[in-house]
Each structure stands twice: as structure tokens, then as C-alpha cells.
Amino acid sequence: MPENTTKNTSSSVVIEKEDAPEVTFAELGIDGRVLSALSDVGYEKPSPIQAATIPLLLEGRDVVGLAQTGTGKTAAFAVPALSRMAELMDLNGPTKNTQILVLAPTRELALQVAEAFTSYAKYMDNFSVLPVYGGSAYGPQLAGLRRGAQVVVGTPGRVIDHLSKGSLDLSHLQYLVLDEADEMLRMGFAEDVEQILSKTPDDKQVALFSATMPGAIRRISKQYLNNPAEVTVKSKTTTGANTRQRFLQVMGAHKLDALTRVLEVEEFDGVIAFVRTKMATEDLADKLKARGFQAAAINGDIPQQQRERTIEGLRDGRFDILVATDVAARGLDVERISHVINYDIPHDTESYVHRIGRTGRAGRSGDAILFITPREKYLLRAIEKATRQPVEQMHLPSAETINSLRLGKFAEKITETLASQDVGKFRDLIASYEQEHDVPASEIAAALAVMAQGGQPLLVNDLPAAPEYQKKDRAKDGFGSRGPTRTLTEGNATYRIAVGRRQRVMPGSIVGAIANEGGLSSSQIGGIDIRSDHTLVELPAELSKDQWRALSKTRISGELINLELDNGRRPAGGSAPYRDRNDRGQGGFKKKFDGDRSGGYRGGDRERGAERGYGSDQGHTGQGGGDRRPRHDGGSNFNSKGKW
């Protein structure tokens, strides 16, 4: 590293805040334009992290903020940064130079931060915010940078790409933010972050925010921050006393059936089911509707007007179940929510607390149910430790219980129909059919019942219990290579793709391609075992037709991956000899990603793959890294008026 980047940290200040002081945003010395925008979005009193860091950043101090997700970190660094930019604009006039750079580990977070900056800069003229991230086309991002973006929010790999292309100039940078720094290091961005830091001016102001303070973060702080004030916000994680918390252990492949059965036996009013990805909200809502439930989805891609209509539908009873992501559910307050279902377990305790806080309000009782697989028990233990409350185990309703309920409801419908409808014409039709075909009326009624079910079975069987462990599968294929010896996560399967070491693919490029094209989250991508001319990847066993269709067209380094289930055969499209001595004895999915670069890869970095060797300039089919979700016209460029 350049010697002139080393900073003095001898007089660092540690400030601990457990409770927000009795101050308002107006008392913190924020620029009036930014203050007006905060008022518009309904902010009145700062959170503890905001109250502690905003004054320090307004003074020009570098800051290290230690706080969990959901504590208001974005406003803590965005508000003082924009206040400083507003003052510079008054002194020097408008500029097209990039003055603020925010590095975030994922594109979802980058978009979220960019939207927040856009909201807070509402009253700043000639000011634009541009998110840049892997997995999307370069064109709109290049156009936005050419027009001039005072704020750039990006993932490290794509920021480096723009620096390498000369499309991003940081020579006028005033303010740098590392958001969720520990997550960036966990995902393998340490070298990228340091490379970016080394290309920024020495006199910039730096804010680093992290949930934890591992050694690597401490080292970066000492090397690149100048006399930083350290602000620690102690978590006051609590859950509502009126909310009953339960968990259900279920294999991933059976979660939909489990949810259906839980909803059949639980007496509920309104339900929010939380999932991790935008695609999963639509998928689960559609499947619930197909099973007779009144369900709707909200996610970050849904326009605000439609979001408001959907929430109003939940409020007035047109929908009973809302399937949502964490971001989409922020600010949602509907009194009739009786149940929160954590269909996908959150990976941090703050998110869990925020989720279940949607029920048990205003003195009403609420229920929170958490679905976990055996391998996710460590997350359950973390939740119990953080909330200081036990989560009781519940058991899946038996097939006998479900069938008894279904038969009872079926009989009730018959009774209601006989009492409320004129069935005379149908009675005559059945009598005529009985006479003409010599079929007993009971058989005809049974056939009509089958027709009424619309192809759906009325009765169910017991689901397999979630095992505490799974046996290893060491079956050899016909070519002498071994399948993965690593225990598969419940609900997952091993797939082959027709690219490997000979194509010089990296784990990150595989994750980026599969995640962006298939709409999977990085957490759904398990172990990756790169071999000579093919790769074994752990993915959900039940991929949808749309996911298969999208992944069938996916390329990595210009090569079609030809995704298929691992069955011991040579992958279609493989160009090199299949047998590879180096494949022997590797033991399959032994490599796991644990934050350093000495190991292999374990699912964590969807962004890095999208940014490294996977994009429209890497031989892909023109989709710019495969982000097939709808985009607003004009690409990814926000302006200060909140438009795209």
C-alpha cells in the first residue's frame, strides 16, 4: 500500500450511545434544504447512531460507526454528506464532479442507499445520484457518469471497472463511505476496497459503518482514516411482549406445503410472509393463490402506487396474506396483522425483530412463526441470544388433522350450497345421467367432487420429517469423478455446468451469473466445486420453469453453461475431455467461503460474480450481466427530484 495513505489514529474517540438524546434534526446544524427533505419523509427525531455521528461528520471528523442493520445508518452518513455538498455548491457553484462515493456490498443495498440519497437531496438543484453495480448493463451507468453524478453509490467490483475504464474520476472526491464494511470483507471485497481507497484523495472525509469490528476493519481504519471518532451503538434488541414466537423445522423442498398446512390450522386475520428475494415474493404469492388463499406480493420493483393499493387491500380484507421482502415492508403498519411468517429466515437479528414487530401492536396479541432447516439452527440460537427470549418449537400439523379439517369444510360447503342455492336443475341432470348410464348417484357425486377440486388433491399425506443430518452421497459417476461428499442443505440438489478451470471461471462469476439470471439470492447458492471442464454447484432442488429457461441461456466467459442435474454424465456442451486426474480426491464441496481468500467459495458473493467476468462486455448475450428485472427508463440514474 502507498505509504502516504497511512493515517494518524492516536487521538481516536470512543463514544457509546445507548439511548437517543432528546434532540431533533433541526438542532443538529443540518443544511435547511436537507432538513426540509427529512421533514417531507417524516423524520423528526434522530436515532442513536444519527444523533451521535451527524454532528461529528458535520465537523469534518472521520467516523467509525458500529451499529446493527436497521438502526438508521444510511441517514447517519447521507445527511451530513449532503449538508456539506449543499454548502460547497453555495460557495463554488454547481459541479458535475463526483464528490461523494458510497461503497456497499450488494446491489440491493446500493439501490437502497441511492434512493435514500435521492430523497434527502430533493431540494438540492443540479444534483444527481447514480448507483453502479454488477449484473446490469454498462451503457446507462456510463451515460450517467458522462452527464455528471455528484453521488455515486456502488459495489466494489463495478466501481473498480469504471475506474479502470476511466469513466469514474475520483480526483475531486470530498466524502467516502464504506457501508456494511464487515459484510464487504466477508464477501471477499477486501482487496477491491483497498484498491479503491488508494485511488482517492488524501484529504477526503471517510465514514466507515460496520456491525462488527474484525481485525481487517480495524486495520483499514488505522491505515485510511484520519483520527476517527468511534461511535458504538449498543443494540437494544427487544421483541413485543404480546407476540408469541415459534419455530418450525422443515426441509426447504417442503416449505410451501408446510406453510399451507400451518395456515389451514391457525386462526389468522392478516398475515405477512417474509422471503429474501423479489422473485420469491411473486413466486410464493402465485402459489398461495393457486391453493385458494387471497395473497399478494410487494417488493422493491413494484411502483409506489401499486404498493399503496396492495397494502390498502390487506388493510380492508381484500388480501389476507402479503408476501414481502424486508425492504418492501419498511414502514408498513396494518392493525389486522395477526401472524408474521418468516418463510425465509433472516440472517441478522435486527431484521428478525423488525419483521415480527409488524404484529402484536396496540395491545393486540400476535404470532411469529419461523421456518428453519436443521442447518439454520445456528441462526435460531443467535436470535434467542440477541432477543433474550426463547422461541418455542412447534410441530407440523399431521395429515390426519389436515384431512379431518378439509373433510369437515367440504361437508360444510355441501350443506351451505343445499341451503342457499336452487339445485333443482342439477338434480334433474344427475337423475337423467344416473338412468341413462346406470351409474349410482353416489358415484356421480364423487365425480363432481373431483371436478370441483380442479385437479387438486383433497387429502394429504404426512410430510417427511426434517432430519438432523443427511447421509453423504459418495456415488461415483461413469468417468471416475466423485460427486460432492459435502452434506447437501435440505431442499437442495447438485447441478453441473459445462465450464470449469479450462475456461478460467472463478466462483464469483458463477454465483453472479446464476444469481442474476436465475433470480436466486446468494444464500440459495451452496457449495461450488470447480473442476477441469465442468463445475458442480449446489442449488435449490425445485427450480421454476422460468429459472430453468433463464439459466438455459446463461453464459459465463462467453460459454453456455448448459445447466443440468448431476447424474454422473458428461455435461452437454463440454468441449474438453471429461476425465481429470486433479478431480480425484477433492471430495467435492470441501471449500467454504469464510472471509479470506485461502479457501474456496460458499455462496456469499453474488455481486462480485456479476462484476468480475460476467457482463455485457464479457461475451454475454447483451443483457448486461443478466439482470432481467424490469428497469425504469433511463437506466439506473437518479436525479435530485427523485426521477429516473
Which residues, at least 6 apart from 570, have a Cβ–Cβ distance to it below 8 Å?
479, 534, 578
pLDDT, one tens digit per residue, over 400-455 is: 877 787 788 788 788 888 888 888 888 888 888 888 888 888 888 888 888 877 66
Selection from 552, 637, 643 nearest residue 147 by Cα: 637
In percent, how much of the chain has pLDDT > 90?
A: 26
pLDDT, one tens digit per residue, over 262-306 is: 998 888 899 999 998 888 999 999 999 988 899 999 987 888 788
Rounded Cα gap, residues 273 and 124, in angstroms: 38
Rounded Cα gap, residues 29 and 434, in angstroms: 86
Local structure of 100: helix, strand or coil: strand
Residue ranges and CATH numbers for the domains of the chain are: 3-236 (3.40.50.300), 243-398 (3.40.50.300), 400-452 (no CATH), 492-611 (3.30.70.330)
At 85, the pLDDT band (50, 70, 90 cuts) reads very high
Selection from 534, 628, 639 nearest residue 577 by Cα: 534
More confident residue, 373 or 470: 373
Selection from 507, 501, 498 nearest residue 569 by Cα: 498
Task: Give how far Cα 394 sits from Cα of 275, 286, 368, 369, 373, Å.
Answer: 20, 26, 11, 9, 13
Rounded Cα gap, residues 327 and 111, in angstroms: 11
Which residues, at least 6 apart from 167, have a Cβ–Cβ distance to it below 8 Å?
141, 142, 145, 146
Average pLDDT of the chain is 77
Average pLDDT (148-177) is 93
Lookup: cell for 628: 432481467
User: 175 pLDDT exceeds 90?
Assistant: yes
Evaluate whether 207 touches 57 at the Cβ level (below 8 Å). Answer: yes
Evaluate whether 139 touches 188 at the Cβ level (below 8 Å). Answer: no
User: 364 pLDDT exceeds 80?
Assistant: no
Task: Give how far Cα 45 sits from Cα of 20, 48, 79, 461, Å.
Answer: 8, 9, 13, 54
User: 604 pLDDT exceeds 90?
Assistant: no
Selection from 422, 600, 590 nearest residue 510 by Cα: 600
501 burial type by CB count under 10 A (0-12 exposed, 13-18 middle, 19+ buried): middle
Which residues, at least 6 apart from 172, have a Cβ–Cβ distance to it below 8 Å?
95, 97, 98, 99, 201
Torsion angle, alpha carbons of 320, 323, 325, 329, to 10: -10
DSSP 241-307: TTEEEEEEE--GGGHHHHHHHHHHHS--SEEEEE-SSHHHHHHHHHHHHHTT--EEEE-TTS-HHHH
Alpha-carbon torsion (50, 51, 55, 60), positive or negative:
negative
Report the pLDDT value the prediction gives residue 60, as an integer from 0 to 100. Answer: 92
φ, ψ for residue 535, nearest 5 deg: -140, 140
DSSP state of 570: P
Selection from 291, 405, 272 nearest residue 331 by Cα: 272
Report the pLDDT value the prediction gives residue 488, as an integer from 0 to 100. Answer: 67
Evaluate whether 58 touches 83 at the Cβ level (below 8 Å). Answer: yes
Rounded Cα gap, residues 111 and 131, in angstroms: 6
In percent, how much of the chain has pLDDT > 70?
A: 76
